[in-house]
Amino acid sequence: MSLIFDARAANLYEAWYTSPPGRAMERLVERSIPLLLDPQPGEKILDIGCGEGNHLTMFRRLGLDVYGVDASSYMIRRAEKRLRDQATLKVGMAEDLPFDDNEFDLAVLINTLEFLDDPLEALREAKRVVKRKVFIGVMNSLSWYCLLNKFRSFFRKSLFSHVTLYNLWDLKSYARSAFGNVPIMSRCGHVEGLFLEKIYGLTPDHSHSEHCPFGSFLSLAVSIRYGARTEQHPLKMGLNEVRQTVARGVTMGAHRFSEVHPEDERSLFV
């Protein structure tokens, strides 16, 4: 079963998020979003696994119409208290989103796949509700930072006790399975100031780090392509009226067919 945050799990996440590495990771997210997602003011964006709304505030600053969904009612209550009426929030599973097809321009899953049992189904759902792009951000299983923290979690409970880590090839494989043969852009970011990250010989401006697959944070953006796009139209006629209308149509069609003159019957079956 996917991890649904309660107060204890939320405190573990908060402790990590407010730590120096957590804040550094957040800066990597903030740099990656504009580069890969290219959000435009006024677009509708869905944060899948929004937690208490850390990233929704960033999307508000970008001028986006923000929506959030999380499996934890506890986290949604915290997000509502924090954001008030600045976002539309719902309780729901990433694998079964409570939204219509193509309802959003963009969707993001930031540190969400790590806590899911079925990441592929979550990505398929993201594709279903989105028109333009999906952004995926995860902690990298091949980075020294994540490997070290995962090892430590075997001896002391932390956020890393509950996560499944992914590498770039994992992400691309899931993306191909969920979205098909579509354009994919990826970026790799390194947590600044960590000795084990520095041994890769990064330059101060990280000019060569984006394509290195061993950084702490991986981000990937998928451009959605559809052969056909659904449109939602409300049913303006009750079911009883529909049945009566169909019945009348069938009756009238049969009546007209019986009125065809015998001399014209041949033309009907040519």
CA angle 169, 16, 94 (to 5 degrees): 55
Q: In Å, what is the CA distance from 196 to each residue of 31, 139, 143, 147, 165?
A: 22, 15, 9, 11, 18
Are 246 and 172 contained in the same domain? no
Are 16 and 150 contained in the same domain? yes
Poorest-confidence range of 92-106, 131-145, 202-216? 202-216
Number of domain units in the chain: 2
Q: Which residue has the higher pLDDT, 159 or 49?
A: 49
Are 165 and 261 contained in the same domain? no
In a domain, 67, yes or no: yes
In a domain, 233, yes or no: no
User: Does pLDDT of 201 surpass 50?
Assistant: no
Q: Are strands 130-139 and 217-223 parallel, antiparallel or unpaired?
A: antiparallel
Are 83 and 172 contained in the same domain? yes
Using the 8-state DSSP alphabet, how is residue 264 labeled? Answer: G
How many whole angstroms separate alpha carbon 213 and alpha carbon 140?
Answer: 8
Q: How does pLDDT run across 232-251, given as a tens digit for each residue?
A: 666 666 656 656 655 565 55
Which residues span the domain enclosing 129?
7-223
Q: Which residue has the higher pLDDT, 39 or 193?
A: 39
Are 182 and 243 contained in the same domain? no
Are 219 and 243 contained in the same domain? no
